[in-house]
Amino acid sequence: MGAPVTVKGLHITAGGQTLVDHLSFAIQPGEVLALIGESGSGKTTTALALMGHARNGCTIAGGSVRIGDADVLTLDPAGQRALRGRRVSYIAQSAAASFNPSRTLMDQVVEPTLIHGLMKRAEAEAKAIALFTELALPSPETIGDRYPHQVSGGQLQRVMAAMALITDPDLVILDEPTTALDVTTQLEVLRAFRRVVRERRATAVYVSHDLAVVAQMADHILVLRNGQMQEINATEEILSQPAQPYTQSLLAAARPAPRVSPQGCGSELLLDIHDLSAGYGPTDLKGQPEKLILQHIDLKLYRGQAIGVIGESGSGKTTLARAVAGLIKPCGGGIIFKNGELAPTLAERSKEELRQIQIVFQMADTALNPSQTIEAILARPLVFYKGLRGPALQKRIRELLDLVKLPHTVASRLPGGLSGGQKQRVNLARALAADPDLILCDEVTSALDTVVGAAVLDLIAELRRELGVSYLFISHDLHTVRAVCDEIVVMKDGHKLAQVARADYDRGPHHPYYELLERSVPELRRGWLDEMDTARLTT
């Protein structure tokens, strides 16, 4: 397994725009090359071209791609179909969106071997079980009988890796495979991916914007910007001696600096959550939901303060934010806001209560109406809460765009014409349009690349300093939370385990689970994952 890959003069266009500009590189058998850069740099576009594929509206306009003895771009459609899933395989960012929910995992994992006629069903299933074992999946003998919704996100990502590896491909493409995972799950998936890639001597391309993850996986790094190569070198050299200013800026953004407002917070209690419990599903006679997510949460947030809430997927972080926002009805306890008890649901809250608490969702793509212009999106809360019309409305829209550092020209554009970072800024502007006292930020940077995410964090800190807004900042990234928050609340399985003040971030001992989360965030240096594995074996 593992074949040389040679790319020469790869040129990809969309209409009159160049997406990848005459790119050339080579990967030796058994090596892992990382493609890094901001959103829109051409990472995924380049990776897909290695399979001879271009997304809708894109054209591979020139160049060559060779995988072993196969000249990928000269193959006819039948030849490319024979190549994909057999000699080159692809592990996508979102496993949940990539599996068929109506078929078992085993059916889908063995499908490539059946399509390409490589082995019979029984042999393929035996090989799948061996891969499940290699990838450290629980109950490898029976997990294939489950459906996609019956396993966790990290498990599903590893099942996708098994599907990609079952045909023993010459090249494996991993496209942001751990971005959507929490830190502890990401660590386990990284371990599994790296072990399998090393043991099988696979040639691999790892697409990511996370340099700390890349440092653990890649032998070489290729830095892309606007479709052009900035530099390519061994991972150690890129991390220690980057040649280009752009690479230096990526490295700087990957090391989050504190962004806490120097003014600190006031003494006025803004939000008082007491004994809060909430869940989903039908309720019993006592009003308890079928699935209890939050259990007896207590939390106080003062005016001007930013509190971070961290924990693994399923810990109850987002449910807490949704309960405060009125999007889910608590089944116990209560929420006091500015000395008044908040009604449990949006429908029961006053217009003024709705205005004072705003939420910014994780996925900017789905939070903005794709058929409305940015001007119309920002105008809606201004009309609803402030009653603005005419010149006053237009003036305030321009002021909001200035606040989030977007040009006035975006007002006439649809969300589809904006980058991920720009869309998230529009989400912030929409929240600010109501002049809220509290903004709930739910994983607002997890889908963004390092540079754009750092810019959004800077913006949040600046708005807090200038407007005195308070934040409840939900995240699974401890480094991000430490950079922007005064205190950190640690959650697991719906319970609040600890609350750590900024002054104590670097002073222990802390709750063991907090320390686990801290240890699980990849460090920006080679060998970190090896050290973690060694430490795990010796404890």
Can you give the pLDDT at residue 503? Answer: 85
Percent of the chain with pLDDT over 70: 96
262: pLDDT strictly greater than 80:
no
Can you give the pLDDT at residue 29? Answer: 92
What rounded mean pLDDT belongs to the chain? 90
pLDDT tens column, 146-185: 999 888 778 898 999 999 999 999 999 999 888 767 788 8
Helices 121-134 and 153-165, packing angle to 10 deg = 130
Assign domain 305-328+347-520 to a CATH class: alpha beta
Instruction: Kindly indicate the confidence band of residue 285, based on its pLDDT and cuts at 50, 70 and 90.
Output: confident
What value, to the nearest 5°, has the Cα angle with vertex 523 and ends 521 and 527?
120
pLDDT tens column, 193-242: 888 888 888 899 999 888 888 999 999 999 999 999 999 999 999 999 99
Q: Per mean pLDDT, which range of 137-151, 426-440, 509-523 is the poorest?
A: 509-523
Instruction: Kindly indicate the confidence band of residue 458, based on its pLDDT and cuts at 50, 70 and 90.
Output: confident
87: pLDDT strictly greater than 90:
yes
Round to whole Å and give the CA distance between 228 and 96: 31
DSSP state of 84: B
Can you give the pLDDT at residue 391? Answer: 95
Over residues 351-355, the mean pLDDT reads 95
Of 316, 339, 312, which is closest to residue 328 (Cα–Cα)? 316
Can you give the pLDDT at residue 261? Answer: 52
Question: Phi/psi at 346 (nearest 5 deg)?
Answer: -55, -40
Can you give the pLDDT at residue 334? Answer: 94
Of 414, 411, 36, 91, which is closest to residue 253 (Cα–Cα)? 36
Over residues 117-134, the mean pLDDT reads 95
Structure tokens at 276: 């809060």
506: pLDDT strictly greater than 50:
yes
pLDDT tens column, 444-455: 887 677 777 788
Can you give the pLDDT at residue 259? Answer: 57
Our measurement of the distance from residue 14's CA atom to the centroid of its chain's CA atoms, rounded to an integer in Å, reads 26
Structure tokens at 371: 């058929």
Structure tokens at 58: 């894109």
Round to whole Å and give the CA distance between 44 and 284: 48
pLDDT tens column, 394-420: 999 999 999 888 999 999 999 988 877
Of 266, 278, 259, which is closest to residue 302 (Cα–Cα)? 266
My answer on whether omega of the bond before 4 falls inside 30° of 0, hence cis, is no
Round to whole Å and give the CA distance between 5 and 170: 9
Can you give the pLDDT at residue 100? Answer: 94
Of 364, 45, 34, which is closest to residue 210 (Cα–Cα)? 34
266: pLDDT strictly greater than 80:
no
Round to whole Å and give the CA distance between 67 and 80: 12
CB within 8 A of 198, min separation 6: which ones? Answer: none
467: pLDDT strictly greater than 90:
no
Can you give the pLDDT at residue 15? Answer: 85
385: pLDDT strictly greater than 50:
yes
pTM above 0.85, yes or no: no
Can you give the pLDDT at residue 237? Answer: 95
Can you give the pLDDT at residue 393? Answer: 97
Domain residue ranges in the chain: 305-328+347-520
Instruction: Kindly indicate the confidence band of residue 538, based on its pLDDT and cuts at 50, 70 and 90.
Output: low
Can you give the pLDDT at residue 539? Answer: 58
Structure tokens at 299: 């939390």
Can you name the residues that pair with 174 across neighbouring β-strands? 91, 206
